[in-house]
Structures are given as structure tokens and as C-alpha cells.
Amino acid sequence: MAKAQVQRMSRLMVKTLRDDPADAEVLSHKLLVRAGYVRRTAAGIWSWLPLGKKVLANVERVVREEMDAIGAQEVTLPALLPKEPYEATGRWTEYGAELFRLNDRKGGDYLLGPTHEEIFTLLVKDQCTSYKDLPVILYQIQSKYRDEARPRAGILRGREFLMKDSYSFDLEDEGLAHSYALHRAAYQKIFQRLGLDHRICAATAGAMGGSKSEEFLAPAAAGEDTFADCPNCDYAANTEAVSFALAPVDATGVAALEEIPTPDTPTIETLAAHLNVQASETLKNLLVKVDGEIVAVGVPGDREVDMDKVEAHFAPAAVELVTAEDFEGRDDLVRGYVGPQGLEKVQYIADPRVAPGTAWITGANKTGVHAKNVVAGRDFEVDAYVDVVVVQEGDPCPKCGTGLKLDRAIEIGHIFQLGRKYADAFQLDVLGQNGKPVRVTMGSYGIGVSRAVAALAEQHADDKGLVWPEEIAPADVHVVAAGKALQTELALEVSELLAEAGVRVLVDDRPGISPGVKFTDSELIGVPKILVAGRRSGDRVLELKDRRTGEREELSVEEAVARLTGTVA
């Protein structure tokens, strides 16, 4: 094994802080700043200090090795990109304020790449002309730029961040499915090697377009995503992607629709109280305007409408809430007493929970009056079933019906089957085996490399500081010289022996620092093994401590070296 480096803290630029930074809200932000891994340069823009850079480089190395292992080819495309390709796909405008735009000295429009689908599509169009040139998977590890409205949480959501993005190009759907499966397996290996607890969750494709998409989520309190996890089966999904199965009900025995006077009950709460029923027995009808046309959205009275889902359904049309003016001159719309059975002129979409055959209490389209036994499919028609409610803890698993658990998580990876969206935009064809052009199908795949460091810090910490997994720790062992000359000599001697054997060593040889401060720092910095040259240094005996378990044992120099180099158990 090659000789490893000994990093002497007396020479290393690492300044630990006793207190949490004032602007830090989440654990990883606090710890990575306090332990001297990163420093803020501007809002959402961070500098990686020597220890942090080592961790980041370790994550990069693992990602690179596993991408190479699936035959992906590394390239580096620019971060400064011309406007035209992004205009061709519409993303120049769709990205909105999140895109950093700039002009060059001649007034030309440029952007800082948030993700590179367009540029890779054009590159492959230039490089690959025949079916023989495919499939191909290309990747890069590169700084990406997104002008977040509220950069927060340290490196968890920065405006400049390091990302591995890759792109697959295939002739057929089966090829895309294979490239997707290769990435899915590689991502599992990567996160396993990094020591990141993660779940693979069904996701919505969002602005990226395309069909199938899954997210790799790392459960953590600081996460900005919420995912639903089934405690019984393997189902997991971003709450935005949880679907509720449409299950029609037999309504044969339900009595006929009956109007009932319900004065002063314009809300679900007043209605349920007045009739002494559960809100879940009532049907709530939300009115929205879609490109100016009124549309009604029906959900059970106890559920909230997720406006993001409504917007996603009607995109790219604009969705607004109705205002008082919208009711003027509309005798069919009685504010507070709307029922779907009276909405002939209005499109009606409903949550799958409002399945055919289900009976509801809802507005009678007359002020102060509701109706009961209003049956979907009998008394009113649903124009389209769309998942529009906010998912709640306990909602049934779409796969096995068990009540779902909701958890917070950090998105550390995302894989997409894009299909032909970008290939269509740029006419990316290759000559097929039969001599005819074949439109290429694509996938795109991302890992947040810098964000993974934050996710690791979230998952691997205790009240004393960071506790890095071995593969990505900034060193294998942190040797601490308690302070006296003899102790420092022994610490440096054993450090050299370890490094000779290929062990990466961080040694605290700082003069004039108390042993207590050094121990506190070693726990904050979080190298997996801590080897102390302390009281028994005269006997050439050191104390080995496991950072995670706190277990300690005394070892001779030879035993310590053998243990840490793994040559002796």
C-alpha cells in the first residue's frame, strides 16, 4: 500500500468554533462550520476548507468509481452556457428567477448551467451518427448554479453546488430502461459506500419532463422533502407522487338525493357541526380559474387540496383561486353552497376518494341549503379523477393498503427517464440498422455531491460533533498529542508508522493547546478512530477510542499500528 499523508494540525488551516454560527438552523450547517469544514462566502455560496475539501473529494471519488463501473464516460462541459439551446427547449424562460443569466462583452446572452440536458443532447448529435455509436452514458462532476429564493441550511441548499450529472442515450425504450436500471443500481452502491441511509421513492418528473422518475431520499430532520413510507411493504414515494387508487363503490342501497335546510353553514366546519357529522362525510368543492375558465375541484371535506398538484395537472395553463367578482352574474355558483350536481357549465375534477358510487353531503347550489345522499356517477359526473389532496400520515399505501408513515428527507439523487423530449427539440436522430433515422431516447441522472456531504453530517453526528463513516472521513485516524514534548514525539512517531502503512492520519500536534480542547476538537471533527498519546506515553502506551461507540482501550505502539492497519485483529 502506498504511503499516506500525515496532516499536522499545527500546519493545517482548521479553526474550530465553540458556538453555533448565528445564522445556522440545521445540524449539518452548525457542525460543518464549527468543525472548520466550510465557510460562507456569500448567501448560498460556500468555500470548502482543507478538511471539507477532503471529504468532498472522497464523495467525488466514490461517485466516479461507480459511474466508471457502469461504463459511463467522464467529460467536462462548460458551466457558462449560451442561451440558444435553452431557448429551443423553453427552459430559458421556464426556469424563471432561478436561472443566473448574464451578458458577455458583446451583449450575447449566457446562463450558468443549472443542469445540462440541452448541451449533452447537442454534443451527442455532433458525435454520434449511427446506431453503432449507441448506447452511450456520459457524466460530469461540476459546479452547478441555481439562484434559490431563500438559500438556507448551509451547503444543503446552495446557489453554487457540486453535482454529478449523467445522461444516457439509447435507440429504444428497452435500452433506456436498461441505462436507468444501471444508474439505479450504481446509485444504491454509491450511497451504501458513502454510508448514507436512503430510500428510493417514486417521484414526479416535474419541470424536467419525461415519464418515469425516482428520487433517492436520505431521511433527516433537516430535509426539505416529505416522503411517505410504508411500514409493511417496500413502497416509498415523495408525497407529491403518492397516488390513491380509484375504487368504485356499489351505490345500489343509497337513498335518493335529499335537500336539507342548513342555514348559515358556508364552511365545512359549520356544516359538520350543524348536522353533527364527520367532515369526511362531506364533499368540499373548491373553485379555481384555469386560464380564466372556472373549474371545480372536489375532495372529501376533511382533506386539503394541494395546489401544486392542481397546477401540475393543468400546466402550462395558469391556475388562480376565484374571487368574489367571479360569482357575479353566475346564478349556478352559490358561494358556500356549491354542489357538483348543479354544475353543468363547469368542468369538475375530483380526487379518487370521490369514487363512483360514493355518497356525500354537499351544497345544494342554494343559499342555506345542502343535499345528502349525493352519489358520484348517479347524481353528478366527474370529468377527470386527479390526485389533488395533501397526503396525510396514515393514508393507505397504494401497494398494500397499510397506513403510510410520513418522514422528512434530503433529496440526494434523482433519476429520470426523459424519453424523447430533448431529442425532439434538437432532432437528435441516428441512422438505424435499416438505414432509416431513429429518434434517440434519453435519461438524465443527478447526485448532489456537495449536498451528500451535508446529508452525511445530518445522519452521522451526535451531541459532541461529527462521526464520519470510514470511506469518506477526512482521515482514518486522528492522533492526539496531549501536550508534553514526549507525548508529541510519540504521536508523530506513530503517525509516521501509520502513514507508512497507508493509513491516512490527522495528528493534533498543536503546541500550547490544552488536552481538553484537543479532545473536544477531535470529537467535533469526527474522524472514526482517535488515538491519544497521553499519560502513559512514557511506557509507549496509547489510548484508542472509537468515535462512534466511545469504546476505549489501551494499546502499545505496535498493537495500535497493527490494529489500525488491519493486519491483526
Q: Is 143 in the site for its own copies (CB under 8 A)?
A: yes
Sole binder of its own copies in the list 3, 5, 293, 424 (CB under 8 A): 5
Sole binder of its own copies in the list 3, 23, 25, 47 (CB under 8 A): 47
CB 71 within 8 A of CB 136: no
Residue 445: CB atoms within 10 A of its CB come to: 26
Residues 6+ apart with CB under 8 A from 205: 211, 212, 213, 416
Residues 6+ apart with CB under 8 A from 563: 544, 555, 569
Q: Is 290 in the site for its own copies (CB under 8 A)?
A: no
Q: Which of residues 494-533 bind its own copies (CB under 8 A)?
A: 511-512
Q: How far is the CB of 307 from its own copies (least distance, A)?
A: 22
Q: Is 182 in the site for its own copies (CB under 8 A)?
A: no
Q: How far is the CB of 177 from its own copies (least distance, A)?
A: 19
Q: Is 128 in the site for its own copies (CB under 8 A)?
A: yes
Q: Which of residues 91-110 bind its own copies (CB under 8 A)?
A: 97-98, 100-102, 104-105, 110
Q: Is 431 in the site for its own copies (CB under 8 A)?
A: no
Bin 435: left if φ > 0, else alpha if -120 < ψ < 50, else beta: left
What are 445's three cell numbers? 441522472
Stretch that binds its own copies, among 48-56, 349-357, 361-369, 542-550 (CB under 8 A): 48-56
Q: How far is the CB of 380 from its own copies (least distance, A)?
A: 45
Q: Is 249 in the site for its own copies (CB under 8 A)?
A: no
Residue 261: CB atoms within 10 A of its CB come to: 11
Between CA 197 and CA 460 the distance in angstroms is 10
The SS3 of residue 481 is: strand
CB 414 within 8 A of CB 336: no
DSSP 8-state class, residue 329: T
Identify which of residues 138 and 208 has a Cβ nearer to its own copies in the complex.
138
Within 112-211, residue ranges assigned H as helices are: 117-127, 173-194
Q: Is 323 in the site for its own copies (CB under 8 A)?
A: no
Q: Is 145 in the site for its own copies (CB under 8 A)?
A: yes
Sole binder of its own copies in the list 3, 23, 25, 71 (CB under 8 A): 71
Between CA 492 and CA 514 the distance in angstroms is 18
Identify which of residues 127 and 211 has a Cβ nearer to its own copies in the complex.
127
Q: How far is the CB of 17 from its own copies (least distance, A)?
A: 11
Q: Is 556 in the site for its own copies (CB under 8 A)?
A: no
Q: Which of residues 225-244 bind its own copies (CB under 8 A)?
A: none
Q: Is 16 in the site for its own copies (CB under 8 A)?
A: no
Q: Is 75 in the site for its own copies (CB under 8 A)?
A: yes
Q: Is 171 in the site for its own copies (CB under 8 A)?
A: no
Identify which of residues 124 and 561 has a Cβ nearer to its own copies in the complex.
124
Bin 408: left if φ > 0, else alpha if -120 < ψ < 50, else beta: beta
Identify which of residues 305 and 513 has a Cβ nearer to its own copies in the complex.
513
CB 67 within 8 A of CB 415: no
Residues 6+ apart with CB under 8 A from 317: 290, 291
Q: Is 485 in the site for its own copies (CB under 8 A)?
A: no
Within 106-172, residue ranges assigned H as helices are: 117-127
Sole binder of its own copies in the list 119, 177, 369, 541 (CB under 8 A): 119
Q: How far is the CB of 118 from its own copies (least distance, A)?
A: 11
Q: Is 292 in the site for its own copies (CB under 8 A)?
A: no
Q: Is 148 buried (19+), middle (13-18) or exposed (0-12) by CB count in 10 A?
A: middle
Q: Is 150 in the site for its own copies (CB under 8 A)?
A: no
Q: Is 126 in the site for its own copies (CB under 8 A)?
A: yes
Straight-line distance from the first to the last Cα atom of the chain, in angstroms, rounded to the nearest whole number:
19
Q: How far is the CB of 57 from its own copies (least distance, A)?
A: 8
Sole binder of its own copies in the list 4, 70, 81, 246 (CB under 8 A): 81
CB 385 within 8 A of CB 349: yes
Sole binder of its own copies in the list 35, 138, 388, 404 (CB under 8 A): 138
Q: How far is the CB of 512 from its own copies (least distance, A)?
A: 8
Q: Is 17 in the site for its own copies (CB under 8 A)?
A: no
Sole binder of its own copies in the list 20, 133, 259, 500 (CB under 8 A): 133
Number of amino acids touching its own copies (CB under 8 A): 58
> To 10 degrees, what angle do helices 449-459 and 50-69 make?
110
Q: How far is the CB of 35 from its own copies (least distance, A)?
A: 13
Residues 6+ apart with CB under 8 A from 327: 333, 335
Output the DSSP codes for 490-546: HHHHHHHHHHHTT--EEEE--TT--HHHHHHHHHHHT-SEEEEE-GGGGGTEEEEEE
CB 560 within 8 A of CB 551: no
- Positions touching its own copies (CB under 8 A) are 5, 10-13, 15, 39, 41-42, 45-50, 53-54, 56-57, 68, 71, 73-82, 97-98, 100-102, 104-105, 110, 112, 119, 123-124, 126-128, 132-133, 136, 138, 143, 145, 147, 149, 159-160, 511-512
